A = this chain, B = another copy of it.
Amino acid sequence: MSRGSTAGEPAPANRNVTLRDVARFAGVSVATASKALNGQPQVRAETRARVIQAAEQLSFSPNTIAQSLITQRTGTVGLLTSDLEGRFSIPILMGAEDAFGSDQTSVFLCDARDDAIREKHHLRALLSRRVDGLIVVGARPDTRASLGRELPVPVVYAYAPSDDPRDLSLVTDNVGGGRMAVDHLLRCGRRRIAHITGDPDYGAAQDRARGALERLAEEGLEPAGGEVWFGMWSEAWGRGATRMLLERCTDVDAIFAGSDEIARGVLDVLHEERIDVPSRVAVIGFDNWKVLAANARPPLTTIDLNLEQLGRIAAQRLSAAMEGNPGSGVETVPGRLVTRESTAPLR
């Protein structure tokens, strides 16, 4: 029969077999073959079966390119990220990649490395590839410039919201996360709660702090040490800040760290000072960065921002927009508490 391959081995996806070959093999016209394979009703059952069998026998695989050309839909979307190496884009990207069923939609990955020029380049390339939609994922959860309203395809912004409110943006809930962290500590019976966090220039740091302070205020409390300890996103800062904190107020019974990295530094110093976690001081982190949180001593309770789900929702919203139901505004995806052993009720 087929001359190229031995029987039994997986049929080679032969690039050269076209619908014409299938049609000829089945003894029908290309038009009929097309209709038969696409489940169009106007073809006799017997004929359809013959065509399908022919297609299988020749291991026909339709040329998506040709299909796109006529249907004006490529079944592709562009994923424009500004920092691939950053740990935030990856989960989002995974969620998005997974929300588009692989049968329907494939994603073009582009890393602009936080460079506007490169981004423009990629954008041009994607548009000339006729993607059906775009997801733009930013490096930091701060506002970024909109790609503009003149694009021929729908766009969804993830993580970093667009500065144009008419665009649709999905963001993490940093305020809610901060609130959630403090709430958990309160539930554990802690009252003297400190907050050590990162660079105050980051919106994320401000938002988390705001959520934390709000929740504290609801209980009539102030943060231990009097104020929020802003600094840097590093273990070293976590260590330094903790030392200062312990000097200034000895009775602290919980520390909310603005990131898991910082939390690692906090734990390190507490351990050094022989202060038991969680019995004397409870510690909670932020991000649920597995390698840091799960390996910590003790394993770290933390806030997970649900980035993967954010990616999935972004994909869903984009699909909706591609179907003609665009959205706009900023949608916030809630985080969740992940409890490990660094927090526990008092006594």
Residues of A within 8 A of B (CB): 4-5, 9-10, 12-16, 61-66, 68-69, 74, 76, 79, 84-85, 90-91, 93-94, 97-98, 102-103, 106-111, 118, 121-122, 124-130, 148, 150-153, 234-236, 261, 264, 268, 289, 291-292, 295, 297
A150 and B61 contact, CB distance less than 8 A: no
> Which residue on chain B has the smallest CB distance to residue A86?
B90
A124 and B61 contact, CB distance less than 8 A: yes
The distance in angstroms between the C-alpha atoms of A109 and B234, with both chains bound, is 32
Interface on chain A toward B: helix, strand, loop, or mixed SS?
mixed
Q: Point out the residues of chain B lying under 8 angstroms from A66, CB to CB.
A: 69
Q: Point out the residues of chain B lying under 8 angstroms from A111, CB to CB.
A: 94, 97-98
B129 and A65 contact, CB distance less than 8 A: yes
> Which residue on chain B has the smallest CB distance to residue A62?
B128
Q: Point out the residues of chain B lying under 8 angstroms from A15, CB to CB.
A: 127, 130, 152-153
The distance in angstroms between the C-alpha atoms of A4 and B148, with both chains bound, is 14
B109 and A79 contact, CB distance less than 8 A: yes
**A295 partner, pick from B5, B126, B151, B261, beta carbons under 8 A:** B261
Number of copies of this kind of chain in the complex: 2
Q: List 20 A-B contacts (CB under 8 A).
A: A4-B150, A5-B150, A9-B150, A13-B128, A13-B150, A16-B152, A63-B69, A65-B69, A65-B74, A69-B69, A79-B109, A94-B111, A97-B111, A102-B121, A103-B121, A107-B108, A108-B108, A109-B109, A234-B295, A261-B295
Q: Point out the residues of chain B lying under 8 angstroms from A148, CB to CB.
A: 9-10, 12
B130 and A102 contact, CB distance less than 8 A: no
> Which residue on chain B has the smallest CB distance to residue A106?
B108
A128 and B64 contact, CB distance less than 8 A: yes
Q: Point out the residues of chain B lying under 8 angstroms from A84, CB to CB.
A: 90, 93-94, 97
The distance in angstroms between the C-alpha atoms of A107 and B126, with both chains bound, is 11
Q: Point out the residues of chain B lying under 8 angstroms from A127, CB to CB.
A: 13, 15, 61
A12 and B268 contact, CB distance less than 8 A: no
Q: Point out the residues of chain B lying under 8 angstroms from A91, CB to CB.
A: 85
CB distance from A241 to the nearest CB of B (A): 15
CB distance from A300 to the nearest CB of B (A): 12
Q: Point out the residues of chain B lying under 8 angstroms from A235, CB to CB.
A: 295, 297
A130 and B64 contact, CB distance less than 8 A: yes
A129 and B151 contact, CB distance less than 8 A: no
CB distance from A151 to the nearest CB of B (A): 7
The distance in angstroms between the C-alpha atoms of A4 and B151, with both chains bound, is 12
Q: Point out the residues of chain B lying under 8 angstroms from A63, CB to CB.
A: 69, 128, 130
Q: Point out the residues of chain B lying under 8 angstroms from A108, CB to CB.
A: 76, 106-109
A65 and B130 contact, CB distance less than 8 A: yes
The distance in angstroms between the C-alpha atoms of A210 and B345, with both chains bound, is 48
